[in-house]
Chain A
Amino acid sequence: MIIDSIQNGIVIDHITAGKAMELYRILGLDKLDCTVAILKNVASSKLGRKDIIKIDREMDLDWDLIGYVDPTITVNCIRNGQLVEKRTLKLPERITGVLTCKNPRCITSVEQELPQEFVLTDPARRVYRCRYCETQSK
């Protein structure tokens, strides 16, 4: 299968196989009107199998969010057919508006206008806790 290379845009590479659709949804890529290619289960010497997303447009992405979904991802920014930036990601210290606290005793359960913020408390175990009540995200 051949997918054309892009001239100006972003290639999100080394996505853990099976996670591309989750990333597509969380990043809101369904709202774009440019070409977006999702490649699943691509052979990879590093990962065995991987997913790739190609976006045929330059745009700002929420790096923290991508790092949260899959910190092994690399992001390549392409301009005029050339690689101009390659980013490796890490787990973000804080994520906002992605996870929801499930603790019925949390203040966010009654004051729903509060931003849902989670803080990385244990990088080795990828543990995020609600900023307000410290309940672990599920």
Chain B
Amino acid sequence: MKHLIDILDLSPQEIMELVNKACDIIEHPAAYAHKCDGKILATLFFEPSTRTRLSFESAMLSLGGQVLGFSSANSSSAAKGESVADTIRTVSCYSDIIAMRHPKEGAPLVASMHSLVPVINAGDGGHNHPTQTLTDLLTIHKEKGRFDHLTVGFCGDLKFGRTVHSLVGAMSRYEGIKFVLVSPEELKLPRYVKEESIKKRGIPYEQSVSLEAVMPELDILYMTRVQRERFFNEEDYLRLKDSYILTPDKLQNAKEDLRILHPLPRVNEISVTVDNDPRACYFKQVQYGKYIRMALILKLLGMD
């Protein structure tokens, strides 16, 4: 039985198959409307989420399946002190596939070790969020037509941003990639991500504190939010939260075919005046997220 805990659980070939399947779903949604008739997705969200949970639920409903679950730890037996293993042993008796978000890092891996059905990691603390990475990859492929020979800029919180770490890991496997890392000193990409994803593969990269300085070379700009929930210290959060704000001025020197991505939710790191720029595709990204989750559900249920 296959689970999805880390984006690197999927080979580049499997990712391409998922992307192709998602594109086919976009083209022919009616052909997939009853693929999961009679199947149940359990969404176990031990911490709040709007986008990811609704995206999973919408994906399963669009495949003809049904959903059950909870949206906070308080409304589950975790509040009574039940272990992840016991919760999963129970829920996997009621469902065919599970999407799980948990504040503790590694909880979905523990779940996969005890589940009778496939488990999808829907985010574990600051660690992994593989379906966001699949969403990002589908967006890049739809918008640029390829995964290789791209200069990909990451801006904002590169230290705690799990989506950044996963996307760096996933994009590192393609040829001709260059990374540009833009962040304040305190939120730089962790050394281990640089060592194990970038340097080990000999991928060129540069670090910058100025977004404007590197803007002209970017094919993709991946903006991130400085996340309050990842800080133990409120003072540090307040000091760093407005480090980078993307405005139309900063885009003046950008390529015409730049694509701006953001995992959302946005606070203020992208000015709303950028939303109508044709290079902004963070709301399209949300739509793609549903389709790639549909493709993933089909794959893990063996119905692709």
Residues of A within 8 A of B (CB): 103, 105-111, 113-114, 121-122, 125, 127, 129-136
Give the number of residue pairs across the A-B interface with Cβ within 8 Å. Answer: 52
Q: Is the CB of A134 within 8 A of B127?
A: yes
A-B contact pairs, 9 of them (CB 8 A): A105-B104, A105-B125, A106-B104, A107-B106, A107-B107, A107-B109, A111-B104, A132-B107, A136-B192
Q: Known contacts A105-B125, A107-B84; is A133 also within 8 Å of B105 by CB? A: yes
Nearest residue, chain A, Cβ from B85: A111
Q: Is the CB of A111 within 8 A of B84?
A: yes
Cβ-defined partner of B105 (8 Å) among A105, A114, A121, A122: A105
> Is B242 part of the binding interface, using a Cβ–Cβ cutoff of 8 Å?
no
Residues of B within 8 A of A (CB): 83-85, 102-107, 109-110, 124-127, 192, 195-196
Label chain B's interface by main secondary structure.
mixed
The 6 closest A-B pairs by CB, nearest first: A132-B106, A133-B105, A107-B104, A107-B106, A105-B125, A107-B107
Interface centre among A131, A134, A136, by most B CB within 10 Å? Answer: A134
The distance from the CB of B132 to the nearest CB of chain A, in whole angstroms, is: 17
Q: Which residues of A contact B107 (CB under 8 A)?
A: 107, 132
The distance from the CB of B7 to the nearest CB of chain A, in whole angstroms, is: 13
Q: Which residues of B contact A133 (CB under 8 A)?
A: 105-106, 124-125, 127
Q: Is the CB of A105 within 8 A of B196?
A: no
Q: Is the CB of B105 within 8 A of A107?
A: yes
Q: Is the CB of B106 within 8 A of A122?
A: no
Q: Which residues of A contact B192 (CB under 8 A)?
A: 127, 129, 136
Nearest residue, chain A, Cβ from B83: A111
Q: Which residues of A contact B83 (CB under 8 A)?
A: 111, 113
Q: Which residues of B contact A136 (CB under 8 A)?
A: 192
The distance from the CB of A33 to the nearest CB of chain B, in whole angstroms, is: 38
Q: Which residues of B contact A135 (CB under 8 A)?
A: 105
Q: Is the CB of A132 within 8 A of B109?
A: yes
Q: Which residues of B contact A103 (CB under 8 A)?
A: 105
CA distance A132 to B106 in the complex (A): 4
CA distance A135 to B104 in the complex (A): 13
The distance from the CB of A104 to the nearest CB of chain B, in whole angstroms, is: 8
Q: Is the CB of A131 within 8 A of B106?
A: yes
Q: Which residues of A contact B196 (CB under 8 A)?
A: 121-122
Cβ-defined partner of A105 (8 Å) among B103, B109, B195: B103
The distance from the CB of B194 to the nearest CB of chain A, in whole angstroms, is: 12
